[in-house]
Amino acid sequence: MTRTVRAKAPAKVNLQLTVGPPREDGYHPLVTVFQALDLWEVVEATPRDDGEIRITVDVAAGAPVDVSGVPLDESNLAWRAADLLARHYGIGDGIDLHVIKGVPVAGGMAGGSADAAAALVACAEAWDTGATRSELAALGAQLGADVPFSLHGHTAVGLGRGDELTPAMSHGEFHWVLATQTTGLSTPTVFAELDRRIAVREQVWSEFEVDREVMAALMAGDAVELGRCLTNDLEGPAISLMPRLSDVLDVADGADACGAIVSGSGPTVAVLARSRQHALTIAAHLRASRLADAVVTASGPASGTVLIQD
């Protein structure tokens, strides 16, 4: 009997995102601190015996996600994850993948990477490959720089392309408000805009390191401190490509947020609150401003990619 396996993978925010000069392969070296959030991409995997990989996509109940631009062919990251896994383990079967999206598309929160992570975990189980987590992380890194973190979850420092992970200590729960835009920003375009703005870098890249204040605030579980030291080198470039993001950040400031930052390459703005209640108040301000297409709350750190048991 064919069985369906389900896995869910988290979204992320970058608490620190420091970007170095482009490498020869086009990627940029990063010093980043990831936190996984409890917004999920779910992938349901059902083996098929004809060797085909098929994808369908849906929106999670109540999620502010527009899936009209999500490809259903080989360019979909979940499709590529299943294909890579099948080739790596010599699997002859195919798979039906049903992707249920809870993370904004092209929003700077690694929704596509989460699809790949969830597809890897669901397909590995559905095909009974016996793959270990570290084998899946190595395959994930071939699919995208953020895929290993989506598998890992929790809080981690990312070096290299962001795929060389070290777990970071974190205490308690942090409450976020996410102001999303229907129109996405292309990650390569935002990185290119950064390169254009800082053609000459004055500091030697190898001198950049993890912000100790971020680490201390995480250890202390102190949202006020963490809010003060959020940094993202891609924020300026994202704002110049979508100027209204600066107004969204101003509204968050006006609502007494602990801090607010463009998430990854944007355009989602991530706003840190003192408490769940404070997050709801900030969300109300952001909704009233009408500067965001949708506003949701989330908390972190969330787990990495896990199977969902029935």
Active site residue ranges: 12, 146
- In whole angstroms, give the CA distance from residue 283 to residue 286: 5
| CB closer to ligand C5P, 145 vs 168 | 145
Near ligand C5P by CB under 6 A, which window of 1-9, 23-31, 39-47, 123-131?
23-31
Is 148 among the residues that bind ligand C5P (CB under 6 A)? no
- Using the contact rule CB under 6 A, the part of the chain among 2-10, 39-47, 119-127, 140-148 near ligand C5P is 140-148
233 touches ligand C5P (CB under 6 A): no
Q: Is 188 in the site for ligand C5P (CB under 6 A)?
A: yes
Q: Looking only at residues 246 through 285 of this chain, which bind ligand C5P when binding is defined by CB under 6 A? A: none
Nearest approach in angstroms of CB 187 to ligand C5P is: 4
Q: Could you say whether residue 27 binds ligand C5P (CB under 6 A)? A: yes
Q: Assess 12 for contact with ligand C5P (CB under 6 A).
A: no
Q: Which region, judged by CB under 6 A, interacts with ligand C5P, from 65-73, 82-90, 143-151, 245-253?
A: 143-151
Q: Does 144 bind ligand C5P (CB under 6 A)?
A: yes
Paired tokens of 166: 């070290």
Task: Please tell me whether residue 146 binds ligand C5P under the rule CB under 6 A.
Answer: yes
End-to-end CA distance of the chain: 17
Nearest approach in angstroms of CB 164 to ligand C5P is 10
Q: Does 161 bind ligand C5P (CB under 6 A)?
A: yes
Question: Binding to ligand C5P by residue 149, rule CB under 6 A?
Answer: no
Q: Closest approach of Cβ 156 to ligand C5P, in Å?
A: 15
Tell me how far, at minimum, the Cβ of 205 lies from ligand C5P, in Å: 13
Q: Work out whether 34 is an interface residue with ligand C5P (CB under 6 A).
A: no
By the criterion CB under 6 A, which residues form the site for ligand C5P?
A: 26-28, 30, 144-146, 161-162, 187-188, 191
